[in-house]
Each structure stands twice: as structure tokens, then as C-alpha cells.
Amino acid sequence: MHRRVVITGMGVVSSLGLDTDSFFNNIVNGKSGISPITSFDTSNHSVKIAGEVKTDLNEHFDSKELNRIDRFTAFALMAAKEAIETSKLNEKVYQNVGVIIGSGIGGIHTMEEQYTRLQKSPKKVSPFFVPSMILDIVSGHISIKYGFRGPNFAIVSACASANHAIGESFNRIKYGMNDIIVTGGTEGGITPLSVAGFANMKALSKNPDYNSASKPFDNNRDGFVIAEGAGIIVIEELEHAKKRGANILGEIVGYGATADAYHLTSPSPDGLGATEAMSNSIKDAKLQTEDIDYINAHGTSTPFNDKIETLAIKKLFKSHSRNLYVSSSKSMIGHLLGAAGAVEAIITIKSLQKSIIPPTINYQTPDPDCDLNYVPNNSIDKDINYALSNTFGFGGHNATLVFKKFS
């Protein structure tokens, strides 16, 4: 018999808040975290907006520590602190705690900074360059800080990274390999190089109105808005959590992962990979499609993704797709790339817990190809029991998680 896996701690760093409660409050009230980029000069860039985290890292870390970590690591450490504190983990269980964190592009901020130094002289490159840049270093930092000695590694699958990290962690607990894992995703990719790269491949919105640029499923959408931040959750075997008196926030009941096997950056036109990821996650949860109440969509605000995700939902859920609530949190926070799934998992867990479905803001003009209930512009009070959270990444990676209201 498979073991039940519950969530006992959550932490968020985002453009809409530096803790879970304020973040979710802003989400359900339809606030936008998108603003003009302030971290570098955008005068020569075609894209000038992003979902930046508005905080001075010097207020959270001393100068010595900041010299040794990239922005994506800092965000993960901040979010992990909240998640571990809310989970009330104590040193008696530390030794066996695993850490599995996902990221899409990792320490690109450090890479750009150190390349600038290299142009002056190879001797100017920091000895901390490599351990600041590599994606697995986040899991290492969390392990070292808290003394967690369980499995420790990173997962990289572009924008599906966090869902894969959570899903693989879920399986390790479900099948008895571990009792507790700290998991999620982090990203600090708002840099001149990454913004230029995504813009030149025509993935980013060039809408100058940052308040309405991210508009998933709207007929006038023109690309995603890049964002940064982290989402970290503590997941745990149910009886283990009960035994130590943990506060249980929700339950993970299913995970599905597939590949499009079609194109490096474009989803398959038939939506098959996305359909199968959702289908596999529901089968893993031993549910029927009719049991699902809400989908936190990948919903990037790109013309093709939103159309194909809608198609995939309709293919799988058939007539029940008309009963589903589908919304995109990226309308408010932008696209956190490898961290997107973790932050959106937290939104989904809180939605189940609080019986409220967050909106898709900036939805004004319906698209004939996107004809589901996208919860336009305002949250809905609704008792929901099961919800999906979708992420799809460059390379054709698809990962879906199923969450349940804990009872």
C-alpha cells in the first residue's frame, strides 16, 4: 500500500510578497507584481518589464555570504527558512531530511557578472564563480545550513523544473524511500542576457503597459513576462507528520510527467504531451477526470501555449472541461521559469485550504480558441477538493501535480 504524502511547510519569495500569507492575499485580490525593470539599464532592450522581487538582499544576508551566492540561491534560502519554520521541523529529524530543488537557468546573474570580470583579466574571476553558478548548489546550501543529510540534488527541466522536483520528491516518500523532503524551485534570471535572449526568440511580451502585459488566454496576448523568486515546500509522510504534531496544509496525491518529443521550444500542436501528463497524474491519484475542480494552468500568455493547453484540457476532460475553473497566476506574477511550478503549487494548496479560486487578471478579449472558464479578473469563493497544477517547459517537458484538500 502506498504511503500518503502531505505538505507541512511552505515559503515564498516573489514580486507579490516575501511570505506565503501576504503573497496569497495579493494573489486572491488580483494584484500585479509586474513593473519596470530596475536591476539593469533597459534603454537598449526591447523588453523593459518583469516580475522583480523588490527587496534588498543586504537586509537578509551579510556581505560575506552575498559574495558567495547567486540571487537564485538567496531566494531559495529565504523561502526555505519560512517553509522550515512553518513546518516546525526540529533537529531530531534533520539527519534524514532530503532536499530536491529545481531551477531552469540557475546562476546566470553570476555568469554574466564574472564574464565581465574575465574581459579585464582571468585573475579577476571569483573563486566562488563555479559554486555560485551551478544549479545543485541551492540544495547544498539548504542542507549545510540545517544539517539535512538525506538525498540532495537538483532537477533541471526548464519551466517544468519545480514540478518535476516536487513530483520526484513525492514519489520518494510515497514509495518509502524518505519521510521528509524540502522541495520546490527557485530562479533569479532577470538579467540583460536572459531578457535579450528570450526577447529575441519572441517569447516575451513587448507590451509597454506593465499593468496589463501578462494576459493569459486573452485574444491580445503577445508573450510572457519574465519573473524571479522561489517557492519551497516541506512534504512528509502522513503518519510521520502526525506523530510529530505537524500542521498539515494539504496533500499531494498524483504526479504525471511526459515529453512532447516534438520541438525544442514549441508545444506539440495536438497537445498530446500535456494531455498525457494530466491524465497520468489523475490516474496516479486514482481519481476520475470528473473529480477535478480546478486547474492552475501553465498559462504563460504566449499565443501558442495558451491555445494548446486549452486544447489539451478539452481533449482530456471532454464535457467536464465546461465545469472546470482554470486560472493562470502568471497574469499577476509573470513567469518564474524553473520556479513557476513551486510558487503555483503553493497557490493551489492555499486555494484548496481557503476555498477560494484565484483569478486570471487582464482578461478582456476572449479568444475563440481559448473558451474555458478562466476565472476572469476576480477570485471566486468555492469549496474545491482536488486541483491540478500544470507546468510545461522548453525541450517538451511536461509535469502535472494533483493536490487534495486535506481531511
Q: Which residues are catalytic?
A: 159, 298, 335
Q: How many CB atoms lie within 10 A of CB 26?
A: 19
Residue holding cell 543529510?
Answer: 149
Does residue 70 sit in helix, strand or coil?
coil
Q: How far is CA 30 from the centre of its chain?
A: 18
Residues 6 or more apart whose CB falls under 8 angstroms from that of 86 comprise: 8, 9, 10, 11, 20, 234, 247
Calculate ∠ Cα 30-71-297, nearest 5°: 35
Pairing verdict, β 294-296 and 325-327 = parallel
Backbone angles phi, psi at 320, to 5 degrees: -70, -20
Q: How far is CA 71 from the centre of its chain?
A: 16
Instruction: Establish how many alpha carbons lie within 13 A of residue 32's alpha carbon, considering only the half-sphere containing its beta carbon.
Output: 19
Could you say which DSSP state residue 2 is in? P
How does DSSP assign 345-398, residue by residue? HHHHHHHHHHTEE--BTT--SBBTTB-S---BSS-EE---SEEEEEEEETTTEE
Pairwise CA distance, residues 138 & 156, whole Å: 12
Residue type, 334: G
